[in-house]
Amino acid sequence: MRAGMWMTVAAATLVVAGCNSAGGGDVVAKVGAEKVTKAQLDAELALSGAANPGDPALRKAMLDQIVARKLLAQEARAEKLDKSPEAAALRVAAIETYEANLERSAMMSTIPKPTEADATTFIQAHPEMFGERTGYVIERLNVVTKADPALVKALEPAKTLEAVEAVLTQRGIAYSRSVSQIDTLQAAPQLTATLRRLQPGEPFVVPEPNGFTVGRVRDSKVQPLVGPAAIRVASEIVYGQRQTTKMKERLDALKSKKVTYAGAGAADADKPGAAPEKK
């Protein structure tokens, strides 16, 4: 990094400290000739969805992000990096992202927060995540080879992880061992269902983008999530599901009215969307 950049950073840090200590009105920092105002800081905190925008540590962290962004933007303009065709395309994308975030925030503000009754209903519908929440320790064999039909057939008789390992070794298929933890509060419903019906020591297969994993439960422990903590977590999940559903419905409606695909994009339009929310 150039010495000039270090000097700019140091200067900006001094100005931030000076503004804060001097109580400079609505200006909370100066980055060169640019001012960062309290209104700007408040707006960016609101857009970030911060739960407690008045928290001093959170405000300081957001202010640091704004200062860093302005520093780098000033350097880019000084070096005329903003004049290239690529920069023009990125500028359009950045403006659209900003505008999309405004629409997203307006849309999210119309979604009702879950009531305690809503949270309780969700908890009752998903005992595996709450009253019967379980933590699993999983031994894994991680394979970076796609499972072709011959390999699948060879693995079918394997009833233990050792038997799976023997098949892989006989076929010269590379693999690695690992141990991981799974919490049914956060695990995919399909994986949780698989784990709950396994016999002791029985292996299970999880498809991966570049291969597959064969796992075995080494240990498990029920860790119930109940009471106010459960209500809080369930409320967050339900609210997140409502946000996802609202966004998908809005985008689907807009796409049906305004979007046509050409070439390779037409194939992408036929791909299935996100998985439905849990009921």
Look up the pTM and report it: 0.67
CATH number of 134-222: 3.10.50
At 247 the pLDDT is 95
At 1 the pLDDT is 43
Share of the chain above pLDDT 90, in %: 75
pLDDT digits (tens, 9 = 90+) for 115-173: 999 999 999 999 999 999 999 999 999 999 888 899 999 999 999 999 999 999 999 99
At 122 the pLDDT is 98
Angle between helices 85-108 and 38-48 (to 10 degrees): 70
Q: Where residue 267 falls among pLDDT bands split at 50, 70, 90?
A: low
d(CA 270, CA 181): 36
With 90 as the cut, is the pLDDT of residue 12 above it?
Answer: no
Q: How far does Cα 111 stand from its chain's mean position?
A: 21
Task: Read off the pLDDT of each residue in 88-104 and give the average, rounded to a whole number.
Answer: 93
Contact partners, residue 273, CB within 8 Å, separation at least 6: 248, 252
